[in-house]
Amino acid sequence: MREIIFDTETTGLSPLAGDRMVEIGCVELVNRVETGRTFHAYFNPCRPMPSGAEAVHGLSDIFLSDKPLFEDQVEDLLEFLGDCPLVAHNASFDFGFLNHELGYCGRPLVCLTRMVDTLAIARTRHPGAKHSLDALCTRYGIDRSLRIKHGALIDAQLLAQCYVELTGGRQIGFSLATDTVEQRNEATDRAAPAETIVVQIRTPRPHAPSEEELVAHAAFLDSISDPIWHRLEARS
């Protein structure tokens, strides 16, 4: 099964407020295995980049000024996306911007039935835990050292690894779990017998006090004024 993991970077949080997509990164999976095929593009948003958004992804007005418009790259993007499921983290956000850009240039919108949200999956798999991309990478031991700032392609690549773990682990797509019960039983029968463990019982060591220790203990008791055990003896 073919799936596309994707991530976007934008000028802000709401396309309805005029925010635009400035970057998209896509990673192709087939049977939960990365094929090595990716799609990555920057877009000129035709509007100033807010400082808060630039602090997140590092994409400045100067950097984006010579980049193509979304409509200039849309054909290549749609060809790469095809008609397979599209996987994103907090997918409604990325789908919102993708469909806004498609609608802006007169293209059909991506059907929401294709949407797979890894944030929803993570909340089901790990209730009560942190579900950010960084938190998932930490949980699954995925190296994110190259993620200095948010970047659409590197985030999509990290999310692809998290998605594999969230949906069953790295074993998916390989033949590691195809052995039948009978084959595993046969392997167990052929295994070498377990080594017999011999427990050596040792004679208990003496722990009685020496004569010097008894004398020292008696002297210590005599040094105690009005000991409680004398009061107990008087009551009896």
Query: Where are the alpha helices (H) located in the chain, listed in sequence order?
Result: 51-57, 61-64, 70-81, 91-104, 118-125, 133-139, 152-166, 181-190, 211-222, 228-235
Strands 2-10 vs 86-88: parallel, antiparallel or unpaired: parallel
Separation CA 26–CA 39 (nearest Å): 5
Do 47 and 88 touch, CB atoms closer than 8 A? Answer: no
Separation CA 53–CA 99 (nearest Å): 20
Separation CA 228–CA 143 (nearest Å): 66
Do 39 and 86 touch, CB atoms closer than 8 A? Answer: no
Active site residue 131: no
CA within 13 Å, CB half, 160: 26
Tell me the Cα Rg of the chain: 33
- The residue annotated as part of the active site, out of 40, 131, 150, 230, is 150
Token pair, residue 93, equals: 């956000």
Query: In sequence order, which residues have a C-beta less than 8 Å from that of residue 76 and are 6 or more positions away?
Result: 39, 41
Closest CA to 87 of 140, 133, 135: 133
Active site residues: 150
